[in-house]
């Protein structure tokens, strides 16, 4: 079994120590696997991601990326992942190319590789014609593409992708998924949160089902179905999810 890139152990957290949003959340994402983080609105997906980003302090438990906590080694922790937020955040005054250049600098991508990767990404996401466009002039879907291209450019050990499909056109979704499969094969770990369960089921190796801040089920499709008490088959993730979140709240 490959080494874990992201380890979340016994994490209880949230903005206020008096009102924890997450309760004792434990999971890991290993090199070369894609893990789907699913849950209803308000289940704690974004809070989990914020904890991994180090924007929130755990009340209990710890988060390790690439074997270190943020306190141990901020530089190693920070440069080990790329993050695609739910809503695109770009600098209005920079062009598409300049964003890529900035990411290349932040993650120390060598000049030669940078050039190659940039061209490939611009081409693959049909953004070559927009390379000199300012972010403020892009549509929401295009902004999302720029976010994704930046994440892919840095080729980090871990990708954290929050709701990547919102606003993307069908070709964009396809390019993204193809690239994720590719980086996964090359050994990167991916944590992806999404509501599109059919896609999550088709592409992810394991699943974390969060419900009311707790892990309701965690594992492969078989394990999740088993936890829900249903038979594993194609399309079963949606049924298992429905069962887990409706039973869990009763």
* 154 lies in the binding site for other proteins (CB under 8 A): yes
* Torsion-angle region of 120 (φ positive above 0: left; ψ -120 to 50: alpha; else: beta): alpha
Contact between 105 and other proteins (CB under 8 A)? yes
Q: Of the two residues 148 and 217, which places its CB atom closer to other proteins in the complex?
A: 148
Stretch that binds other proteins, among 50-58, 162-170, 209-217, 229-237 (CB under 8 A): 50-58
Q: In this complex, which beta carbon is closest to other proteins, that of residue 83 or of residue 203?
A: 83
**Which lies closer to other proteins via its Cβ, residue 53 or residue 232?**
53
Work out whether 133 is an interface residue with other proteins (CB under 8 A): no
For other proteins, the binding residue among 1, 16, 19, 112 (CB under 8 A) is 16
Nearer to other proteins, 105 or 181 (CB): 105
Integer Cα distance of 119 and 136 in angstroms? 22
Would you tell me which residues interact with other proteins (CB under 8 A)? 15-17, 53-57, 70-71, 74-75, 78-79, 83-85, 89-91, 93, 99, 102-103, 105-107, 147, 150, 154
């Amino acid at each position: 079994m490959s080494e874990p890139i992201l380890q979340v152990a016994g994490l209880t957290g949230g903005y206020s120590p008096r009102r924890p949003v997450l309760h004792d959340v434990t999971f890991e994402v290993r090199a070369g696997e894609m893990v789907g983080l699913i849950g209803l609105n308000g289940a704690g997906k974004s809070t989990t991601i914020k904890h991994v980003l180090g924007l929130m302090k755990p009340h209990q438990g710890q988060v390790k990326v690439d074997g270190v906590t943020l306190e141990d080694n901020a530089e190693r922790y920070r440069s080990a992942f790329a993050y695609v937020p739910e809503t695109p955040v770009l600098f209005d005054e920079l062009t598409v190319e300049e964003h890529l250049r900035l990411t290349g600098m932040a993650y120390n991508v060598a000049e030669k590789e940078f050039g190659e990767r940039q061209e490939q990404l611009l081409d693959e996401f049909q953004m070559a014609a927009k390379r000199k466009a300012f972010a403020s002039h892009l549509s929401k879907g295009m902004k999302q593409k720029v976010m994704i291209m930046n994440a892919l450019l840095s080729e980090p050990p871990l990708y954290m992708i929050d709701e990547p499909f919102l606003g993307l056109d069908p070709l964009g979704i396809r390019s993204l998924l193809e690239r994720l499969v590719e980086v996964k094969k090359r050994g990167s770990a991916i944590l992806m949160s999404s509501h599109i369960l059919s896609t999550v089921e088709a592409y992810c190796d394991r699943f974390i089902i969060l419900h009311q801040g707790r892990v309701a089920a965690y594992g492969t499709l078989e394990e999740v179905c088993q936890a829900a008490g249903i038979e594993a088959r194609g399309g079963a993730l949606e049924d298992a999810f429905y069962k887990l979140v409706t039973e869990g709240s009763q």
